[in-house]
Chains A and B, each alone.
Chain A
């Protein structure tokens, strides 16, 4: 039995049980917000495929489970347990969260430059609630869908990052989210707030990994505010486990001459849905959205992106690629909306997909809506198999067919890795790709 009432009753009862343990319980305004989220969930429930935005992605596997808030356990993880996810080569301010809560024993925040603040959101709620209040829920609203509603009601922690005007972070901020399977399905509701002051620069890595086998839901909302001339590079790396569901809303609000660059890499998870939005709300704003999804088995990965060009002279460049094997399924839906008056907009979008098996499937939908006349907009989507000429060329040199297929697939995907400025991140992804692609053992030695 799975009616909306039952689902709502469960999450309402659960909320009453845990509300007293959620951070910021002493803040009336936050309590009101959380109640709003809960109420919105009662109205919306989880999305269904009858809704246009969720047409190709059924979240019934999530709706069927009853995700209790992960209990606070001192799991006794040590640094070595994090393995390659630590990216030892990476010199970063590292914030580790385990099952949705900050884990100080695993974190290495280091010293941030004057004018930059990075801390767990729960801590920010204690130390500077007014700053949190100014940012929270401005971009990702409770009433978007059941997930954003639940997130607002339940969020336990996340990252609070504020960079004052003119401050440039030399080292990236690495948030590492570790999910450890528990006996019962558990939810981790995370909320990240980023405010990049005028002319500031920051690189942020949002990284999700899993240890163990259990069923869990990572439900994330990330809100970014870019003041004029700010530059934010935002990496999102998904290495969720086979029992991991991941739903995320990311919203970047961009003022004059800002630059937002997103690298969204999905390499693991049973069911993944990303909603990534860039709102170019002032002149000369620029965004770049790069995405790569590599799926197999019965994985389902859905990337919805939306770029709003509201003012003149904005640039958006979007480039997504997918490699789908097994019976996996991908969805790409990219909206570019050029509002009236957003003249001289330059918007490009491309989505290319490689299907490695007959049972893999991709639904790709570019969606351009243009209400200004002096603009340059292009889009393209392709779905294909490995190129026969390339296959023959490699085989004619003595490279066995499976290795040739692996090399070509790697080459197809690597295109997107090349765009990444942070070398340790690139290396981690390259290693994972080599492991994931067919006959990867023979691919060792890839540069």
Chain B
């Protein structure tokens, strides 16, 4: 589904990703772990198409196509979804209307009839239960005045509504208490199936107790320095990132 080959990316002229290789197949969950500043969020943003990232080399093939040439909205239509570490507040834009516009843009791209207000509301009501949020959320402006936990839940809710093929979670666990973390993880788990893949970016292994990955990769100084199964995450928790840093600089 997704093949990253020797991807090198710079931000403001500084090389952050220094040659990433990663293969994600349908239905797999890959965790990307690493210390602060290792390039985890950069990888997530580059995959979603955030402007301001300069690709120095390498390639990203998504379902047989060059992902890096696509506009962010096109990536979304083709099934990529980024759950933001810091979901953006959009004053004056109603959550319901925002999400309906997103759903219908994708349906239009796929050649499906657009949902009317009633159909959309039905869909939204159904999905919002997944993250245990009140329907009032739909009437509020996008993320405006939301608590940290509400923002993260809203991301998962959006993901549930948009039904991506590849979900990228960027530090979705940061700033969440244990109850909110469980809710978010349950939401993600309910979306797991044989077709849908996830890349879970996290600093802490705690989230991986709830979203159990198939693979764990450790990112340090812009490179994947170690890959393994779930036990690698537990090992990291015990030993910290110091040895990884050493391995990377060696």
User: Residues on A close to B: CB < 8 A?
Assistant: 388-390, 392-401, 403, 407-408, 410-415, 442, 445-447
Contacts and interface: CB of A to CB of B under 8 A. Distances in A.
A309 to B, nearest CB: 30
Contacts of A398: 73, 76-77, 102-103, 105-106, 109, 162
Contact of B94 (A388, A390, A403, A447): A447
B92 A411 contact: yes
B97 A411 contact: no
Residue among B52, B76, B87, B158 with the highest chain A CB neighbour number at 10 A: B76
Nearest to B161: A397
Interface of B: 48-52, 71-73, 75-77, 81-82, 84, 87-88, 90-94, 96-103, 105-106, 109, 117, 141, 158, 162
A446 B95 CA distance: 11
Contact of A399 (B48, B52, B105): B105
Contacts of A388: 51-52
B129 to A, nearest CB: 21
B73 A400 contact: yes
B76 A395 contact: yes
Contacts of A394: 90, 98, 102
Nearest to A403: B101
Contact of B92 (A399, A414, A445): A414
Given A393-B87, A396-B48, 14 more contacts: A388-B51, A393-B84, A393-B88, A393-B90, A395-B49, A395-B72, A395-B73, A397-B98, A398-B103, A398-B105, A403-B101, A408-B90, A411-B92, A412-B91
A389 B51 CA distance: 10
Given A392-B51, A397-B76, A442-B101, A410 B93 contact: yes
A410 B49 CA distance: 25
Given A390-B90, A393-B87, A411-B92, A400 B105 contact: yes
A395 B82 contact: no
A407 B93 CA distance: 7
A445 B104 CA distance: 12
A391 to B, nearest CB: 8
19 contacts: A388-B51, A390-B90, A392-B88, A393-B87, A394-B102, A395-B49, A397-B102, A398-B102, A399-B73, A400-B105, A401-B71, A401-B73, A407-B90, A407-B98, A407-B101, A408-B90, A445-B117, A447-B94, A447-B96
Contacts of B96: 447
Nearest to A415: B92
Residue among A392, A398, A399, A446 with max Cβ neighbours from chain B (10 Å): A398
Given A392-B51, A392-B72, A447-B94, A399 B87 contact: no
B173 to A, nearest CB: 20
B162 to A, nearest CB: 7
B92 A403 contact: no
Contacts of B84: 393, 396
Nearest to A389: B88
A398 B159 CA distance: 12
Contacts of A414: 92
A411 B72 contact: no
Closest 9 CB pairs of A and B: A411-B92, A398-B76, A393-B88, A397-B102, A395-B72, A411-B93, A414-B92, A398-B105, A398-B106
A178 B98 CA distance: 37
Nearest to A409: B92
Contacts of A447: 94, 96-97
Contacts of B90: 390, 393-394, 407-408, 411
Nearest to B158: A397
A394 B93 CA distance: 10
Contacts of B49: 395-396
Contacts of A412: 91-92
A415 B93 CA distance: 10
B44 to A, nearest CB: 11
A304 to B, nearest CB: 27
Contact of B88 (A390, A407, A442): A390
B76 A396 contact: yes
Given A411-B91, A415-B91, A392 B50 contact: yes
Nearest to A410: B92
Contacts of B92: 408, 410-415
Given A390-B88, A401-B71, A445-B100, A408 B93 contact: yes
A414 B82 CA distance: 28
B71 A395 contact: yes
A42 B93 CA distance: 51
A51 B206 CA distance: 68
The CB with the most chain A CB atoms within 10 A, among B73, B75, B77, B96, is that of B73
Nearest to A395: B72
Contacts of B141: 411
Contacts of B97: 407, 445-447
A392 B81 CA distance: 12
Nearest to A393: B88
Which among A397, A399, A408, A414 has the greatest number of chain B C-beta atoms within 10 A?
A397
B151 to A, nearest CB: 11
Contacts of A413: 92
A389 B87 CA distance: 10
Contacts of A411: 90-93, 141
Nearest to A407: B93
B124 to A, nearest CB: 14
Contact of A396 (B82, B91, B94): B82
A390 B88 CA distance: 6
Contacts of A442: 101
A446 B158 CA distance: 19
A221 to B, nearest CB: 34
A392 B50 CA distance: 6
Contacts of A446: 94, 97
Nearest to A412: B92
B88 to A, nearest CB: 4
A399 B77 CA distance: 9
Contacts of B76: 395-398
A413 to B, nearest CB: 8
